[in-house]
């Protein structure tokens, strides 16, 4: 199993959208993939085609000691995911406490069991600062931080680096190349992060919102769009980082 923690230093950068899109891209390439939502906003399911947020999910299951695998769902394309479920910040905190009770066995709490030994598990975590995000990042094979090309995201790098100093990888989402400030910030990010910054930014693209409105995956709804091309490149980059054959 390859465990990927997807984090962000702040909200509003499209972390859940990117988590869902990467799960879809990897699934379409034939990789066994499971997306788990640990964010109490419970948005991941919507990005995977659900018309309403599921009521039962990962956070409550971990908190009450039940099997979260029983809350797993699959969308019409066959992408399997576990919603966060109807939850608030209190339940997310309770989940963090439950996970923290067994720090040595924390990684095993995300084990997909007999489903697939070689599964790629993408975990959409709450925005930082978050104890739950820090716990997942500590045991992940890769930590992928989603940034906007904006001063708030840039200012949050120190907070993100504290998760795994020198080991976090980054991707810019919602990039608008016609805005000079965003280009300048991307240059600064490259200087600061070097090869840990994905060479492919995901561009801001109206096709993303259109696909969401139609309850369809971007790669199915607008496969020729700029964002779809960016996501395919990002999926390949992530597979190389995980040492998984594309």
**pTM, rounded to two decimals:** 0.95
pLDDT mean over 136-163: 96
Across all residues in the chain, what is the average pLDDT? 93
What is the per-residue pLDDT for 91? 78
Instruction: Quote the pLDDT of residue 108.
Output: 85
> Residue 84 has what pLDDT?
94
| Residue 115, pLDDT above cutoff 70 | no
Q: Tell me the CA distances in angstroms from 95 to 60, 63, 72, 106, one per residue in order.
A: 7, 5, 17, 12
Quote the percentage of the chain above a pLDDT of 70: 96
Question: In the sheet that 2-7 helps form, which strands lie side by side, from edge to edge?
Answer: 73-74, 80-82, 33-37, 120-124, 2-7, 142-147, 169-175, 202-203
pLDDT of residue 111: 83
Per the CB < 8 A criterion, the answer to whether 60 and 105 are in contact is no
- What is residue 209's predicted lDDT score, i.e. its pLDDT? 96
pLDDT of residue 54: 94
- The answer, yes or no, to whether residue 239 has pLDDT greater than 90, is yes
Q: What is the arithmetic mean of pLDDT over 149-169?
A: 97
Q: Which residues pair with 144 in a beta bridge?
A: 6, 169
- Confidence at residue 124, expressed as pLDDT on a 0 to 100 scale: 98
**Residue 38 contacts residue 137 (beta carbons within 8 Å):** no
Q: What is the pLDDT of residues 56-101, one digit of tens each?
A: 999 989 888 899 999 999 999 999 999 999 866 677 888 888 888 7
Q: What is the DSSP letter of 48?
A: T
Residues 101-111, mean pLDDT to the nearest whole number: 79
């Amino acid at each position: 199993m390859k465990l990927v923690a997807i984090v962000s230093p702040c909200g509003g950068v499209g972390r859940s959208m990117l988590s869902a899109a990467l799960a879809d891209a990897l699934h379409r390439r034939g990789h066994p993939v499971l997306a788990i939502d640990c964010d109490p906003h419970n948005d991941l399911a919507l990005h995977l085609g659900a018309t309403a947020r599921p009521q039962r999910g990962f956070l409550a299951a971990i908190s009450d000691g039940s099997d979260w695998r029983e809350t797993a769902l699959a969308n019409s394309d066959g992408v399997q995911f576990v919603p966060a479920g109807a939850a608030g910040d209190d339940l997310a905190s309770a989940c963090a406490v439950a996970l923290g009770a067994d720090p040595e066995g924390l990684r095993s709490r995300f084990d997909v069991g007999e489903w697939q030994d070689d599964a790629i598990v993408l975990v959409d975590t709450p925005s930082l600062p978050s104890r739950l995000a820090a716990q997942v990042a500590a045991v992940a094979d890769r930590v992928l931080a989603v940034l906007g090309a904006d001063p708030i995201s840039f200012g949050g790098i120190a907070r993100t680096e504290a998760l795994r100093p020198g080991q976090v990888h980054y991707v810019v989402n919602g990039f608008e190349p016609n805005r000079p400030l965003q280009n300048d910030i991307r240059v600064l990010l490259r200087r600061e992060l070097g090869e840990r910054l994905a060479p492919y930014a995901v561009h801001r693209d109206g096709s993303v919102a259109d696909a969401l409105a139609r309850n369809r995956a971007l790669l199915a709804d607008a496969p020729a769009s700029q964002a779809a091309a960016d996501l395919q490149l990002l999926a390949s980059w992530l597979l190389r980082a995980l040492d998984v054959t594309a």
